[in-house]
Structure formats: C-alpha cells, structure tokens
Amino acid sequence: MSLPFIHLHPDPAAKLYHQDPGCPTLSTPATDDQRISRDDAEAAGLTPCAACRPMVLVRVGTRRVAFHSDHACADLQSRETKCIGYEARPRAEAAAALKLKPCARCVPPVTYAVRGGRQEVTREQVEIAAARSIPAHGTTLGQPVWYALAGSGLHWVVTLLEDATGKRPATATTARLALAELGFPVMCWAWNRDFLERGHPWNTAT
Ligand SMILES: [Zn+2]
Ligand SMILES: [Zn+2]
C-alpha cells in the first residue's frame, strides 16, 4: 500500500521531485496544483531531490503523538482507516513546533560519509533506488564485494546509496554500515579463505 505523499512537486527539467514545498531549489513557490503522487513521479523517471529538508508524515488532527520518518511504517498503515489523512512536515518542525515524538516503529534515516561531509538517506530512498536498478546476478558478481539485499535483488552497496541520494559514499565501509542500520541484509562476496577470515582489504579498511 502506498500512502499519500503530500507536497510532492515535480521538476521534470531537473528530473527531480521535491518532498519539501520549502525546498530552496524549487524555482517557483510550490502550489497545490503542482502536486503529484510518488507513483506518478517514479513513472515519469523523476528521482528525489537531495536538497529537500527531511520530511516526515504526521496524522491530520490533534490526536497525534508521533511523526513517522518511514512512509511504509506499519503503525501508519494499521491506523490508516482511523484518521482522516496525513500531511508531510519538515522533521524539525514536527519535533519542535508540533511537539511530536519520533515513532518507535519507524526505521529512522541514517547518515554516511561522503566527500566533504555526510549524507542522510532513508530506507524508502534505498528501496526506490533498488526497484529501478538492475540487481547483480551470476555474471556481474565479482570485484565489488559488499552487497545489500533490497527488494528481491542484490545491489552493490556503494552504487545503491549513490542511486538513492545522488551522493556517492566515501567508502564501501560507510555504505554497508548505513544500509545495515536501515535494516537491509548486507553480505560479502568472498571467494577465498583470506576474504572469509579477514574480509576484502578494499572494503574492510576504515
Ligand atoms: Zn528539493
Ligand atoms: Zn512510524
């Protein structure tokens, strides 16, 4: 089930969509008639804008205690029939102005090292990236040794995160740790005893 994704603003020229109506890279102020669903955005080949503030889902109305960073959170879905809808708010606003707490069932976003800083990524972004890329298979498994199981396919950890956010992880180590923290099974392709005992030297160095 895909939940309504409020304030999804397409930018076809940049091949992006924005979750945040206040995103600084939106050329014109976002209006309601510019909204599209996430499915439509994906079908049009648009990818999430990396400059958008992290957005969370909150229930509409006053009977709410938590904000959800995982749009597929079971807590949101199980209560879908009991509330009148959801809206997306910047995470900082949900916490400070609305005084909501992070949902305990959501998988929170994690950050990983990139050249010059850190990049945040959500489980949802990784699932989207995995769904639109070709998984590894017998003839392509090889030199890149760390893979994450996302959707039904294995994906090299570095390109999976790069596809999800547009920012390439600094090392395979930061990539596999971030993906593991988001809950994706991560595995190593090892073809000799050295790898099994010590790990691949490119990927285990910190
Ligand atoms: Zn944006
Ligand atoms: Zn939740």
**Tokens coding 119:** 């990049």
Q: Cα separation of 44 and 78, whole Å?
A: 29
The pLDDT of residue 85 is 73
Q: Measured in angstroms, how far is the CA atom of residue 56 from the centroid of ligand 2?
A: 9
* Confidence grade of residue 84 (pLDDT, cut at 50, 70, 90): low
Alpha carbon of 47 to ligand 1 centroid (Å): 10
Q: Is 139 helix (H, G, I), strand (E, B) or coil?
A: coil
Q: Residues 67, 58: contact at Cβ < 8 Å? A: yes
Give the DSSP H or E segment for 10: strand 9-11
Contact 183, 155 (CB under 8 A): no
Give me ligand 2 centre to Cα 169, in Å: 27
Euclidean distance between CA atoms 196 and 177, whole angstroms:
18
Look over the chain and give the mean of its residue pLDDT values, rounded to a whole number. 80
pLDDT digits (tens, 9 = 90+) for 160-189: 999 999 999 998 889 999 999 998 999 887
Quote the ligand 1 centre to 15 CA distance (angstroms). Answer: 11
pLDDT (tens digit, 9 = 90+) per residue, 196-206? 777 666 665 54
Ligand with an atom nearest the CA of residue 20: 1
DSSP secondary structure letters along 158-177 = HHHHHHHHS--BSSHHHHHH
* The pLDDT of residue 110 is above 80: yes
**Cα first-last separation, the chain:** 39
> Which pLDDT band, with edges at 50, 70 and 90, does 113 fall under?
very high
Dihedral sign of CA atoms 10, 15, 18, 21 in order = negative
CA distance 116 to 46: 26
Distance (Å, whole) CA 112 – CA 119: 5
- CB of 203 closer than 8 Å to CB of 145: yes
Predicted confidence (pLDDT) at residue 6 exceeds the cutoff of 60: no
List the beta bridge partners of residue 154: 136, 149
Say which ligand is closest to the CA of 104: 2
- For residue 22, the ligand closest to its alpha carbon is 1
Q: How confident is the model at residue 3 (pLDDT cuts 50, 70, 90)?
A: very low
